[in-house]
Amino acid sequence: MRYFGLLLLSGLALACGGSEAAPSPSNGGGASGTGNAPNAGATSSHAGANSGSGGAPTGGGQPASAGAATLTCGEAAAPYTLQVTQLDPGVAPRATPQGFNAGLAATAPLAVDTATGQAFVGLTRAGSGADASAWIIAADGSATTPLIEIPSATLGGLAVTKDGFGALVFDPNEEVDARTWAAVQRFDTSGKQTFATDLFRSANLTDANTKGAPSTSRLVYSAASDQLVAYFGHTEMIQGVRHQGGYVATLDVGGKQTVVSGWWGSHNLDQRALVAGSQVGLLGLGDAFPKGVFFSFAGQRPATHVLYTLAGNGQGTTNGQLGGMVELDDALVMPFITNDSISQTLTPGDWPDIDQEIAGQISDAAASGNKLGLLFVSKTEALPKADLAPIWVDTTLPSGAHLDHLKAARYGAGGMILLAWAQVAGSGRNATREYFTMVVDRAGAVCQPKTPLLAGNAFNAGDDVVRRPDGSIVWANVTNGRISVVTLTPG
């Protein structure tokens, strides 16, 4: 393994068929449906969770932003329904190679038009090296050609603007560590490009201060400022070593780039971004400077405010996983996974003097997350509070299993949160993976119980689930090289 030195620097409307009638809450807790995949362009549906009791949360204190009272679970009493649309098999995405900050099998980011609810899927079309291309397609199952194709590019993020689309694209090199450029392109609704702006483009990755290796990433659109916000992990040559950190930039309607931070968090292992009114929240996961879950609203020289400290080994592993960001009326919620078998202050030392035994303990813990927590940040405070007390959610995790692929979205009109995750038992080829949902209120009380999802309705590691204007929640997945779009509609 190649180690990185550490340096702290400043800085569509879905065309789905009809759904089955959902079972009544008295019928039990499982999801119905079969495991058979529908044909190309076809849709399938099945009922989701049944109602649950508003049980007490398991540990943790009330967040400062929780408000005077916990909202009722009553709205979540009826089960949700799921509708699935398989896209044309000719639009299979290319697998993403492994790397220091890549680590994803295949992704299909989905974005929604906040005015119409129409959904669009992005992907990197299968191809070797420069033969790869970034695609944007309508999520209705009928696409045989893309709305937009960007040749010789890897897709890093997709956003829907008020008059078209934005795409974050990277060097198509299949070896992430060898990529030399990142760019943002914007298009109108007809597919005509309105700008193409390089965020950086390096002649090589050996000269001092050269940037490269863009990897995990998000792209969002702020309607209030008519700007795209790009946020991703990358590396830079500093004192003869390629260090890893976060890159944040805005692009105005004319394509002018403003670098918010060329080095936000070191290492910045994973990223989330959320538009909340006129603000853009940025979330990161660090194993060095800082260690843990850190946050800032985008602005001039954002600071890495640590919301919750996690053990990090300085070699690319933190004892936690990000689960997204959810906007409630008064707060942003950040679900995360961790493992409580080690102290969150455990440290192997600083690079290059790393105690590999302790670093391995942190890696082992991180691979076996057993706790799901919720962190709350007020939307009205200029600076988020540090070292928050999480609300812990009881996932009824079986002995020997661990949590993975956590996702979250606002559920219904109240203050409830849909949580979805993978439950993994065993390891290697003997591992089994099951998927579940749960709806909780902001105090962690269970509003809908833990409910299984069919594997074909699951979600990818690196993509978000997205709430549409009508309250439905939508995501794309890749199963056996085939993209499906799943819509969850609250009862």
Strand partners, 432: 425
Spell out the per-residue pLDDT of the chain, length 491, in tens.
Answer: 333 443 333 333 333 333 333 333 332 333 333 333 333 334 444 444 333 333 333 333 334 333 333 456 888 888 999 999 999 887 888 876 545 444 455 789 999 999 999 999 999 987 767 889 999 999 987 767 889 999 999 999 999 999 999 999 999 998 999 999 999 999 999 999 999 999 999 999 999 999 999 999 999 999 999 999 999 999 999 999 999 999 999 999 999 999 999 999 999 999 999 999 999 999 999 999 999 999 999 987 789 999 999 999 999 999 999 999 999 999 999 999 999 999 999 999 988 899 999 999 999 999 999 999 999 999 988 778 888 999 999 999 999 999 999 999 999 988 999 999 999 998 888 899 999 999 999 999 999 999 999 988 999 888 999 999 999 999 999 888 889 999 999 98
pLDDT at 158: 98
Compute the distance between CA of residue 365 and CA of residue 396 in angstroms, rounded to an integer: 19
**Counting every residue, how long is the chain?**
491
Let me know: does 379 contact 346? Beta carbons within 8 Å.
no
Give me the domains of the chain, ranges plus CATH numbers. 41-489 (2.130.10)
Predicted confidence at residue 384, as pLDDT, reads: 80
Write down the pLDDT at residue 97: 58
φ, ψ for residue 154, nearest 5 deg: -105, 135
SS3 of 339-405: the string is CCCCCCCCCCCCCCCCCHHHHHHHHHHHCCECEEEEEEEECCCCCCCCCCCCEEECCCCCCCEEEEE
